Amino acid sequence: MRYLPLAFDVKNRPSLIVGGGSIATRKARLLQKAGARILVVSPDITEELLRIVVDSDGKWHRVTYSVEHLDLADLVIAATSSSEVNGCVSRDAQRRRLPVNAVDAPELCTFTFPAIVERGDLSIGISSGGAAPVLARRIRAQLEALLSPGLASLVDFASRMRSQVKQALPEARRKNFWEWVFAGPVARRVEAGQLADAEREFLGALQDWQGSPSPIGEVYLVGGGPGDPDLLTFRALRLMQQADVVLYDRLVSPEVMDLVRRDAERIYVGKKKAFHAVPQDDINQLLVDLAMQGKKVLRLKGGDPFIFGRGGEEIDKLADASIPFQVVPGITAAAGCASYAGIPLTHRDHAQSVRFITGHLKEGSLDLPWKELASGSQTLVFYMGLTGLQTICTELVQHGLPTATPAALIEKGTTKAQRVIIGDLNTLPTLAKEKAVRAPTLTIIGGVVGLHKKLSWYQSSER
């Protein structure tokens, strides 16, 4: 590490910029945000920079640089188009032990400007020591996407409530309380702009913490998508990093699990045909029990938790127990797998509607409205339908769909192991056996499947 990351308090302090062009203007914008009083030495100046100087109660010295100008400064920036002038400013400043930055010349700097992620008073600086500023900016863009825009409000809220926490709790318990605040329902309400509700919940929790060592936790019901971790939402990623314990199912890909907080406890509760690692009722109760222990519980599901994911059953139990929870949707398998297979679920020439259907009902039967499903101009997507594939194809043909209706099997969709097998209602069951297709596999039936050959972009198909 060449540069030690520090945070300078420059509010109302004289900061000298030598140079008046576009580079100097960019530096002045940052100093203005921090409340510095900006002084500029340059024969010429941009209109924007002049406004910044005036607004900061600073001064423009309309002359060329001389060493005496350093008498005015607590901090110096050399931002001229002349490397000779910038070098002179740097040497003069260092002789006076003034912090100096020379633009695009790391060897002349005693400090550098990091790429900054800003959320109000919360700021994060990413520095490469001037060696790779473009890389630092790329990392900043990634952090911008991950960090909630509501963090600025959360910082303000915490600042306002800080004294009350200090009065109410001993020092040993304050850290844990703030951890709970920032990871729980209070923070969520603040970020959503529900400040009055957030304050009521905050004060109620603070009172509970004064008398109870085990405050209630929270459950995050998160959709992990069909497998590709790039399809996760930003909120899903944030909550995956906050959880103390994770309950995950069979359809959550290893790549998605790699993004879960490293030290979180992991509990497998997956299901497959004729085998449930943990019965659903026990999963529901486990979520309640863990939250009652004060833990942040991540219930991570493949796809979307509200589409054949039993998410409704789980949060119904949480609501009965008055456990705080939040739901984060995920890209359901139908949308993700179809997109990666180049099969649009709707198309003006082929399908004006789409239906998502489970391949086995709660009672384990395939008692479906076959006549409705066999009507034209729609796309049928069967989840968990591999075992009943022959029955599905036979019933659809018997109720009116042509045997030549295009149909596809998408195995492990959106992952590197994805396979797309194309056939029709007559050939698909045989192809599934010949290709030894295994779950998880999605079945898509309808005219849109015929577009796969032209629109496929992710992988080639098997036929």
Angle, helices 171-183/151-168, rounded to nearest 10 degrees: 150
C-alpha 329, offset from chain centre: 12
Q: How far apart are CA 271 and CA 249, in angstroms?
A: 7
421 is in an annotated binding site: no
22 is in an annotated binding site: yes
45 is in an annotated binding site: no
Note the pLDDT of residue 361.
52
Please tell me whether the peptide bond between 440 and the residue prior to it is cis, using omega within 30 degrees of 0.
Answer: yes
Q: How far apart are CA 51 and CA 204, in angstroms?
A: 47
Domain boundaries defined on the chain: 14-113, 151-211, 218-331, 334-455
Note the pLDDT of residue 86.
96
Q: Which of 59-63, 185-189, 215-219, 376-380 has the lowest mean pLDDT?
A: 215-219
Per cent of the chain over pLDDT 90 is: 69
Note the pLDDT of residue 272.
60
213 is in an annotated binding site: no
Fold (CATH) for 334-455: 3.30.950
User: So what's the architecture of 14-113 in CATH?
Assistant: 3-Layer(aba) Sandwich (3.40)
- pLDDT over 90 at 4, yes or no: no
Note the pLDDT of residue 3.
77
Per cent of the chain over pLDDT 70 is: 95
pLDDT digits (tens, 9 = 90+) for 93-134: 999 999 999 998 989 999 988 888 888 888 888 888 778 888
304 is in an annotated binding site: yes
Burial class (CB in 10 A: 0-12, 13-18, 19+), 449: buried
Q: Annotated catalytic, 362?
A: no
Count of residues in the chain: 463
Query: Per the structure block, which two tokens stand in for 118?
Result: 């800003």
254 is in an annotated binding site: no
Note the pLDDT of residue 215.
67
Q: CA geometry: angle at 260 spanning 254 and 262, to 5°?
A: 105
Fold (CATH) for 218-331: Cobalt-precorrin-4 Transmethylase; domain 1 (3.40.1010)
- pLDDT over 90 at 31, yes or no: yes
Catalytic member of 59, 156, 197, 271? 271
More confident residue, 147 or 37: 37
Q: Which of 26-30, 112-116, 445-449 has the lowest mean pLDDT?
A: 112-116
**Cα radius of gyration rounded to whole Å, the chain:** 30
139 is in an annotated binding site: no
How many other CB atoms are found less than 10 A from the CB of residue 392?
A: 26
Catalytic member of 27, 249, 301, 317? 249
Q: CA geometry: angle at 462 spanning 456 and 463, to 5°?
A: 110
Q: Which of 44-48, 90-94, 276-280 has the lowest mean pLDDT?
A: 276-280
**pLDDT confidence of 283, banded at 50, 70, 90?**
very high
pLDDT digits (tens, 9 = 90+) for 322-339: 999 999 999 999 999 999
- pLDDT over 80 at 214, yes or no: no
More confident residue, 459 or 349: 349
**pLDDT confidence of 437, banded at 50, 70, 90?**
very high
- pLDDT over 60 at 276, yes or no: no
Mean pLDDT within 398-406: 95
- pLDDT over 90 at 216, yes or no: no
Mean pLDDT within 31-48: 96
Note the pLDDT of residue 230.
94
More confident residue, 272 or 20: 20
Mean pLDDT within 363-370: 79
Q: Annotated catalytic, 104?
A: no
Burial class (CB in 10 A: 0-12, 13-18, 19+), 357: buried
44 is in an annotated binding site: yes
Query: Per the structure block, which two tokens stand in for 310?
Result: 């039993």
Q: Are 28 and 38 in contact (CB under 8 A)?
A: yes
pTM of the model: 0.63
Note the pLDDT of residue 320.
94
Instruction: Round the average pLDDT of the chain to a whole number and report it.
Output: 91
Q: Are 247 and 269 in contact (CB under 8 A)?
A: yes
Buried b (16+ CB within 10 A) or exposed e, 58-91: bebbeeebeeebbebbebbbbbbeeeebbebbbe
**pLDDT confidence of 212, banded at 50, 70, 90?**
low
